[in-house]
Amino acid sequence: MRLDHFIAKTLDLSERDARFRLIERKIVVDGKTATDHRLEVSRFSRVEIGDRILQEAVTQHYLMLHKPVGILSATQDPVHRTVLDLIDCPDKETLHLAGRLDRSSSGLILLTNDGRWSESLTDPERKIRKHYLVETDRPIPAEAVKKFEDGFEFQPEGIRTRPATLVIHGPCHAGVTLEEGRYHQIKRMFHRLDGIRLVSLHRDRIGSIALPHDLAAGDWRPLTAAEIQSPHPS
């Protein structure tokens, strides 16, 4: 919300009076005197007027988890263990997932309480690339590379998948890069190649954030400042 709107709403003032408070240099946001009425404030901003605190800042949390196979990409579930059950940090109930993996898949999951940040990662228009390693139940035909690039018609959604990159590493091993995340997308794409099934599916990168080799399945860590700020497309 814009700062003048926030001040007007919180102090029950007209926007004109709210802007006067700014001109009088009475408003402090995150420790700095604010003068620009267009400054964006969120629940993560601390806002003060004189010695009165108008809003305490909520702490932002950003973390990565190495999801093991068998764990549900959800924050709660009556039956299955969820990714949140693996995390032990303050305010964990405020976290949500920035993208999911199937229960049978493993790899990188990002969690946060910052909705703007997760939206910027999952917005299809931003075309954030996600990279996966797959193992198949039988050899991958060479023509699969072009088919992944051309896209597949998906029913019942009635859509064509965006160009995806398939790099064949061995007869039954490949890397797949997607710019979107349709329901069971990679499994369905392989299945269209004469019914190939996946033995394993592992995500090792989302945009510029890579799953570290030393983060064991089931472990998590906070993101670094560089990972939080990194430009997402990779």
How many alpha carbons lie under 13 Å from residue 65 in its C-beta half-sphere?
A: 32
Neighbours of 216 (CB within 10 A): 9
Nearer to ligand URA, 39 or 211 (CB): 211
Nearer to ligand URA, 57 or 69 (CB): 69
Per-residue binding string, ligand URA, 101-120, x by CB under 6 A, is xx--x---------------
Member of 187, 191, 192, 221 binding ligand URA (CB under 6 A): 187
Region of 83-91, 157-165, 182-190, 210-218 interacting with ligand URA (CB under 6 A)? 182-190
Per-residue binding string, ligand URA, 125-164, x by CB under 6 A, is ----------------------------------------
Q: In angstroms, rounded to a whole number, what is the distance separating the alpha carbons of residues 234 and 230? A: 10
Q: How far is the CB of 173 from ligand URA (least distance, A)?
A: 16
Applying CB under 6 A, which residues contact ligand URA? 101-102, 105, 184-187, 201
